[in-house]
Structure 1
Amino acid sequence: MNEYLDYLLKLDYDKDSTLLANNFYNIEKINQTLKGKIREHTLYNKLIGKIHYATGNFQQLNETREKARPYVASLENRYFRQAIENAFAEKEKLLYRTQKGQPAPPFALKSDNDMTYSLSDFKGKVIYLDLWASWCAPCRAQIPDLKKIYDTYKNDD
């Protein structure tokens, strides 16, 4: 289903590239194209994805909530409606806990040398985290700046 939807969206984007700016166009397309349980399931999955991955701040979360409102209301499946509302609430809690100035939530990460580090290992120290991917060109472009930061602070306790 996702491949079919991607195909339909690509056809639309090829005809009108301005649609790419509408981050809810895929939801609109699902709503227009699909019917019944497959529509419900696909809408549910796409909305959950938007909540988790496309809402990095309260403004984005609220915009997503407003845009999603008519689609959520149209879902007949009560479980899907409730799960989406729960996802909004959980994302809101996460955003409150991770606001600037708030203590970082506990986490652990594995290094490139297979060592696992947890935030608590560095209690009382200043930590700079930069999460990036080797396939990300803008991330790789930052490497010289990261080296400068490292050189500046490597001997600073």
Structure 2
Amino acid sequence: MGFSYWYLYYSFKHDNKVKNSIPYDKYGSLLKKINTTFKGDVRDYVFYKFINLNLNAVINTYEEFKVAAKNTLPYLGNINSTLYQNELITLINKKEYELGKYKIGDAAQAFSLVDNKGIKHTLSDFKGKVVLIDFWASSCAPCREETPYLNKLYERYKSDSRVQIISIAVRDRKDAWQQALQHDKPKWLQLFDGDGKTSNYFTNAIPKFVVLDKAGLIINLDAPAPSNADKLETIIKTQIEKDK
């Protein structure tokens, strides 16, 4: 049945190539394709694998989740397996609880963390600044690939008192984090979260980039990576220019 799951993506890609277009709602379109392409136990399996993967590893914000959940719920009744149905309902409820804690416009979760020099920093220290938070880990290759781009961003804004860039190491060992800093030599503020104090900011994979406004409100919970500099800087500049 595992082959059927990957066949879904192959056939979806083939259909879009023939039509020369990609649907705006890829998630909803794939749910529809699963429902019409597969039958019986195979359909149950593909529904389960697809929904599980997307809710656990792809969907990052409450806004994305609400759209996905709205698309998903009508298809749950087409799953014959009670076990799959119950597990997916539990997952949807859990995901809504996790992502619902922090939404765009909410006050950012306060934290107090120590930097690589042993100095404690709290989120309130940066009130009045646009804050970009980078969540990463020393063992995360995609995270560390963003370091050169973060360095360029830091060089651009290091003299601008209106902007603060912070990297927070999560799901990491302190010794591994310190070794990574010695190797990569980032110049901006580096904090270590060994106790999961900031875990509510991200429920899925890292790297994860979050933007807060000058009042400490969440502006973007899934901001573009620094390697996508134009899009990220547009968000930062928009917030800088507000309330001049």
Q: Please, what TM-score do these two structures have when normalized by structure 1?
A: 0.69
2:107 counterpart residue number: 101
Question: Is 1:145 aligned to residue 153 of structure 2?
Answer: yes
Deviations 1:16-50, CA, capped at 9 Å, x for gaps: 23344231222222111111111101111111222
1:10 counterpart residue number: 13
Normalized per residue, the structure richer in helix is 1
Give the length in aligned residue pairs.
142
Deviations 1:105-126, CA, capped at 9 Å, x for gaps: 9xxxxxxxxxxxxx75469514
Contact 2:55/2:65, CA 8 A, preserved across alignment? yes
Inter-CA distance 135–14: structure 2 relative to 1 (3 Å threshold): farther
- In structure 2, which of residues 8, 11, 34 is the aligned counterpart of residue 30 of structure 1? 34
Deviation of the 1:103 alpha carbon:
2.6
The amino acid that maps onto 1:125 is H
Q: Secondary structure at the match of 2:121?
A: coil
Distance in 1 separating the partners of 2:6 and 2:110: 38
Q: Secondary structure at the match of 1:125?
A: strand
Deviation of the 1:135 alpha carbon:
9.1
Moved more, 2-11 or 95-104: 95-104
Question: Is 1:21 aligned to residue 24 of structure 2?
Answer: yes
Deviation of the 1:134 alpha carbon:
6.4
Question: Is 1:43 aligned to residue 39 of structure 2?
Answer: no
Contact 1:134/1:140, CA 8 A, preserved across alignment? no
Contact 2:40/2:80, CA 8 A, preserved across alignment? no
Bigger RCO (CA 8 Å, 6+ sep):
2
Q: Please, what TM-score do these two structures have when normalized by structure 2?
A: 0.47
Distance in 2 separating the partners of 1:155 and 1:28: 46
CA RMSD of aligned residues (A): 3.5
The amino acid that maps onto 1:91 is K
Deviations 1:110-156, CA, capped at 9 Å, x for gaps: xxxxxxxxx754695146632472697x8854541134456777799
Deviations 1:80-118, CA, capped at 9 Å, x for gaps: 11111111111112113344424369xxxxxxxxxxxxx
